[in-house]
Amino acid sequence: MAKHLTPKDINSIISLIDGWDGKLSWEALCDASEPVTGTRPTRQTLNAHERIKSAFSHKKELLKNGFVSTKRPQSLSIAEQRIRRLESENSRLKAENAKLLEQFLKWQYNAYKHGLSKEKLDADLPAIDRDSSERK
């Protein structure tokens, strides 16, 4: 049975995608993910996680639009890689944020449509009584 990805694994794979250099494919990503996760995830496992799928398609789009690397001394090359990875991460996070804002607006409209007041929506969460299952 395939290993389930932990949130830490998902974040590591997304960081791997953000720093990707060269041709990106699901198979190449699966191979590169093996040292990060401990086992080689399948394409289906990676594709099942929305954040990974979103980061993958976003990076593919960036690579498709073409970033041409230039020959530089080693220190500038490292700086260029870091800048490219940070720009990719920034762009991906902006896209994730836009999706979350769109989802929030849907929820806000539906709450209004079904008569939920702002006070009900802003109400505190109930306190968790962790000892209740141990009492008899």
d(CA 17, CA 59): 7
pLDDT, residue 119, reads: 86
Residue spans per domain, the chain: 7-117
Distances (CA, A) of 38 to 13, 69, 80: 12, 31, 29
When pLDDT is averaged across residues 28-53 and rounded to a whole number, the result is: 91
pLDDT, residue 4, reads: 84
H-state helical runs in 19-135: 26-37, 43-47, 50-65, 74-113, 118-121
pLDDT, residue 18, reads: 87
- pLDDT of 63-122, one tens digit each? 888 765 555 657 888 888 889 999 999 999 999 999 999 999 999 999 999 999 888 888
* CB contact set of 12 (below 8 Å; sequence gap of 6+): 33, 36, 37
pLDDT, residue 64, reads: 85
